Amino acid sequence: MSVVVKICGLSTCDTLEAAVAAGADMVGFVFFPASPRHVGLDVAADLGKQVAGRAAKVALTVDASDALIRDVVEILRPDLLQLHGHESPERVRALKQMFGLPVMKAIPVATAADLAVLPAYADAADRILFDARPPKDATRPGGLGTPFDWELLRDLDLALPFMVSGGIHADNVAEALRVTRAGGVDVSSGVEHAPGAKDPDMIRSFIRAARASEELMT
């Protein structure tokens, strides 16, 4: 089984090159000022050109306005929009129609009850990303380096492709994939030596570990 590997929150030329050269399928750029991984439009323009078709470009936004997403689309020319906020299924559909791009919707997970929204989003999005639910006092979405209980996704019956994120790193990515049978993994803090500071060696190690796990899933 081929696993889609996404390295998210890239913000420098050297770490982007490390991800692409190591074989990342998707590279993600964060447009959310509260995040230490936020990139401005000028930086995004340069990084987008550097990708040069070697990986799919993903633009991550959080409850963003139409105007911001329009600017991101014009500058980055992403292959996929990632919505990581409280966007409703109706908002997902509207953005797909507005920009003509596929959408991946992040679903925060802590308990089985969190999966109740899945049918509505599965009917609207093109891909689902399961991420850890953030702590109540968090100022930004995502698991902030903490995994959720992957057993909640065991034997998940979902027609859409889905990915897992949240607290995943080189040492546990194989287990995450074994339990969830996800078609992809999305990593950010798991390849950083400090918040927002990607480590090229950690990126390469993660991608190697994810690729090695493909043999265990066949």
> Which are the catalytic amino acids?
8, 131
Burial track 54-86 (b if 16+ CB lie within 10 A, e otherwise):
bbbbbbbbbebeeeebeebbebbebbbbbbbee
Rounded to the nearest 5 percent, the helix, strand and coil shares of the chain are: 40, 20, 40
Residue at token pair 């089985």? 112
Neighbours of 188 (CB within 10 A): 28
* SS3 (DSSP) at 129: strand
Q: Comparing C-alpha atoms, which of 91, 106, 74 is closest to residue 8? A: 106
Q: Compute the half-sphere exposure of residue 23: CA atoms within 13 Å on the CB side of its CA.
A: 12
CA gap 5, 25 in Å, rounded: 5
